[in-house]
């Protein structure tokens, strides 16, 4: 485990205030909370965009919503030129709700609904097909509306397991997404689309891998180039998906990935004509997200010291299967070092064991823990077990915190629910006075309508300026 401990001054460093004598007093998030380090996010995002543009003139960063769909983060990416990469109808609707225009949405996923697929195609989204019914529906649309330029991408199921052995994350070494190049399903899909007048305008090559090595991208790009040449395609886009490794001083660098992609793809496509799409998630958003928690109880059972925090493993490791150690800072004023302290979470299950500290300063009630690099596949996978979604803050370059999500409470949990009033009727959350009778489900659906928009909160700055509505470049 990588643990940094410190005396109370270290606590100030956690909150970004230990920046010299002129620094303003520290601001502490109300724990448990995620804290986004915005300057770090800026650094990663801009270095990714620079590497991409340096190697491919026409390129698109489509941020992977599923990695972390915190609304603040999605809007952050939109304001900085990124597109949305969505993997379901619901994520598509989320992108539209956050003002991504349809023609700046990359629509992936194996379970698109017919209506959403059709509207996305008509409105100019980049749509990568991943199911046979989607092929049928796209063909149907092209036949019905011959005046439309119906163009689609096709997700390619390529043989990663033999090209770069040991990389697939599936238990059986078989990738499930896309149309198989090996057994002819890819060619059958292309034939059906072409016959109906659909233009096969893109290839989608994503695979999640164990090592995120450059060799995976070399194999993917080489395969894409082969498919383009052998099938006589003139693609508008090649989508290399996500799965990149990233972080400050990380290797491979973003530059390494794009150099390899360029080298392989330009054998078959013209970088001036074909757009390169990439769908990064974790490499941009894992490092800037910290998780802050406070010690609320310390107890001994036999020889075991338990340190209970107000946070939970449901936030730090929502699938409860992490084996990698955390990067963790603890702030303790104690001079005493204990050989073992078991940090356990606030939920009422024995399984909520967050981590074990070895040879660490003794933690006491009120001490704080800060876990680093927890922005990927944590917030979206967290369930609503016992306690609900925690606070989220953004920390700016001056160390000032702005809250961008309030902790969910009972009201947020109750939203979109109906329950019996006891007199045969159904009622909903307190703020929605409408009630619906169980015999009239249409009324119930009205209650499940999306909430009305709320005013944008004021963003407080050190100088007390109101930056509401301002897009930060």
Ligand X SMILES: Cc1ncc(COP(=O)(O)O)c(C=O)c1O
Report in angstroms how near the CB of residue 420 gets to ligand X at its nearest. 40
Q: Does 209 bind ligand X (CB under 6 A)?
A: no
Of residues 45-74, which lie at the interface with ligand X (CB under 6 A)? 64, 67
Q: What's the CA angle centered on 169, arms 207 and 74, to 5 degrees? A: 55
Query: Which x/- pattern, by CB under 6 A, does the window 89-118 give for ligand X?
Result: -------------------x----------
Minimal distance in Å, beta carbon 14 to ligand X?
26
Residue 201: partners with Cβ closer than 8 Å, 6 or more residues away: 151, 152, 153, 235, 236, 237
Out of 16, 153, 178, 241, name the contact with ligand X by CB under 6 A: 241
Q: Is residue 360 within 8 Å of 5, Cβ to Cβ?
A: yes
Q: Is 281 in the site for ligand X (CB under 6 A)?
A: yes
User: Segment contacting ligand X (CB under 6 A): 70-78, 276-284, 380-388, 461-469?
Assistant: 276-284
Q: In terms of Cα–Cα distance, which of 91, 182, 85, 200 is closest to 135?
A: 200
Q: Per rule CB under 6 A, is residue 178 in the interface with ligand X?
A: no
Among 88, 208, 223, 312, binds ligand X (CB under 6 A): 208
With contacts defined by CB under 6 A, name the span among 146-154, 241-249, 324-332, 350-358 that binds ligand X: 241-249
CB of 206 to ligand X, least distance (A): 4
Closest Cα to residue 380, out of 313, 292, 322, 315?
315
**What track of x and - describes contact with ligand X for positions 244 through 263 (by CB under 6 A)?**
x-------------------
Location of structure tokens 């001490």:
367
Cβ distance 197 to 150 under 8 Å? yes
Nearer of residues 194 and 322 to ligand X, judged by Cβ? 322
For tokens 């499930």, the residue is 176
Token pair 């006491």 in the structure block, residue = 364
- Min dist. Cβ of residue 347 to ligand X (A): 26
**167 binding ligand X? (CB under 6 A):** no
> Cβ closer to ligand X: 242 or 311?
242
| Helix 114-122 / helix 132-144 crossing angle, nearest 10 deg | 50
Task: Check if the beta carbon of residue 104 is closer than 8 Å to that of residue 83.
Answer: yes
Q: What is the DSSP string of 247-278?
A: STT-SS-HHHHHHHHHHHHTTTS-TTTSEEEE
Single out the residue of 15, 91, 134, 279 in contact with ligand X (rule: CB under 6 A): 279
Residues 6+ positions from 334 with CB-CB distance below 8 Å: 361, 362, 363, 364
Site size toward ligand X, by CB under 6 A: 16
Q: How far is the CB of 250 from ligand X (least distance, A)?
A: 13
Number of Cβ atoms within 10 Å of the Cβ of 358: 12
Q: Tokens 């004021």 sit at which residue? A: 458
CA–CA gap between residue 116 and residue 407 (Å, rounded): 32
Q: How many CB atoms lie within 10 A of CB 431?
A: 9
Question: Which one, 78 or 206, has the nearer CB to ligand X?
Answer: 206
Residue located via tokens 């009201």: 411
Of the candidates 327, 304, 330, the one whose C-alpha atom is nearest the C-alpha of residue 316 is: 327
Segment contacting ligand X (CB under 6 A): 113-121, 158-166, 273-281, 407-415?
Answer: 273-281
Q: Which residue is nearest to ligand X (CB)?
A: 281
| 378 lines the binding site for ligand X (CB under 6 A) | no
Output 16 or 281, the one with its CB closest to ligand X.
Answer: 281
Could you tell me the smallest distance in angstroms from the CB atom of residue 64 to ligand X? 4
Only one of the segments 115-123, 279-287, 311-319, 349-357 lies at the binding site for ligand X (rule: CB under 6 A); that segment is 279-287
Task: Tell me the C-alpha distance between 308 and 68, whole Å.
Answer: 27
Task: Work out whether 243 is an interface residue with ligand X (CB under 6 A).
Answer: yes
What CA–CA distance (Å, rounded) separates 353 from 184?
48
- How many distinct helices (H) and strands (E) make up the chain? 14, 22
CB of 427 to ligand X, least distance (A): 40
Instruction: Give 158 or 368: the residue with its C-beta nearer to ligand X.
Output: 158
Of 78, 118, 206, 222, the residue at the interface with ligand X (CB under 6 A) is 206
- Give the interface segment with ligand X, choosing from 12-20, 265-273, 274-282, 320-328 (CB under 6 A): 274-282
Q: In the bound complex, what is the minimum distance in angstroms from residue 17's beta carbon to ligand X?
A: 32
Q: Distance between CA 418 and CA 420 in Å, rounded?
A: 7
Are the C-beta atoms of 114 and 131 separated by less than 8 Å? no
For ligand X, the closer of residues 32 and 153 by Cβ is 153
Shortest Cβ distance from residue 241 to ligand X (Å)?
4
Nearer to ligand X, 51 or 400 (CB): 51
* Residues forming the site for ligand X (CB under 6 A): 64, 67, 85, 108, 206, 208, 241-244, 279-283, 376
């Amino acid at each position: 485990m990588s643990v940094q401990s410190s005396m109370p001054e270290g606590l100030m460093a956690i909150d970004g205030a230990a920046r010299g004598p002129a620094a303003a007093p520290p601001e502490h998030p109300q724990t448990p909370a995620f804290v986004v380090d915005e300057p770090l996010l800026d650094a990663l995002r801009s270095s990714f965009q620079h590497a991409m543009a340096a190697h491919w003139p026409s390129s698109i960063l489509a941020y992977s919503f599923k990695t972390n769909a915190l609304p603040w983060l999605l809007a952050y990416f939109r304001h900085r030129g990124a597109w949305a990469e969505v993997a379901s109808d619901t994520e598509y609707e989320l992108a539209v709700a956050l003002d991504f225009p349809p023609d700046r949405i990359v629509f992936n996923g194996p379970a698109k609904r017919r209506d959403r697929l059709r509207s996305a195609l008509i409105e100019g989204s980049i749509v990568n097909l991943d199911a046979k019914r989607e092929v049928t529906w796209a063909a149907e649309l092209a036949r019905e509306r011959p005046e439309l330029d119906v163009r689609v991408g096709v997700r390619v199921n390529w043989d990663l397991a033999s090209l770069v052995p040991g990389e697939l994350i599936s238990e059986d070494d078989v990738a499930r997404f896309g149309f198989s190049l090996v057994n002819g399903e890819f060619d059958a899909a292309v034939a059906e689309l072409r016959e109906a007048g659909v233009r096969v305008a893109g290839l989608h090559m994503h695979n999640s891998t164990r090592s995120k090595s450059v060799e995976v991208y070399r194999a993917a790009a080489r395969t894409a180039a082969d498919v383009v040449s052998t099938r006589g395609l003139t693609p508008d886009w090649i989508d290399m998906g996500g799965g990149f490794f990233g972080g400050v001083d990380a290797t491979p660098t973003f530059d390494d990935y794009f150099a390899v992609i360029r080298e392989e793809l330009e054998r078959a496509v013209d970088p001036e004509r074909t757009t390169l799409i990439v769908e990064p998630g974790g490499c941009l958003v894992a490092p800037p997200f910290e998780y802050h928690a406070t010690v609320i109880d310390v107890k001994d059972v036999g020889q075991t010291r338990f340190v209970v925090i107000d946070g939970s493993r449901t936030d730090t490791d929502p699938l409860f299967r992490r084996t990698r150690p955390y990067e963790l800072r603890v702030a303790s004023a104690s001079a005493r070092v204990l050989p073992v302290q078991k940090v356990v979470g606030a939920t009422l299950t024995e399984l909520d064991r967050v981590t074990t500290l070895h040879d660490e300063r003794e933690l006491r009630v009120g001490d704080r823990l800060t876990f680093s690099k927890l922005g990927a596949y944590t917030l979206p996978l967290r369930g609503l077990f016992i306690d609900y979604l925690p606070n989220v803050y953004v920390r700016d370059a001056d160390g000032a915190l702005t809250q961008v999500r309030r902790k969910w409470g009972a009201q947020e949990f109750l939203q979109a629910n109906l329950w019996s009033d006891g007199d045969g009727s159904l009622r909903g959350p307190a703020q929605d006075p409408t009630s619906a009778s169980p015999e009239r489900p249409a009324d119930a659906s009205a209650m499940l309508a999306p909430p009305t928009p709320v005013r944008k909160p004021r963003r407080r700055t050190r100088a007390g300026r109101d930056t509401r509505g301002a897009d930060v470049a």
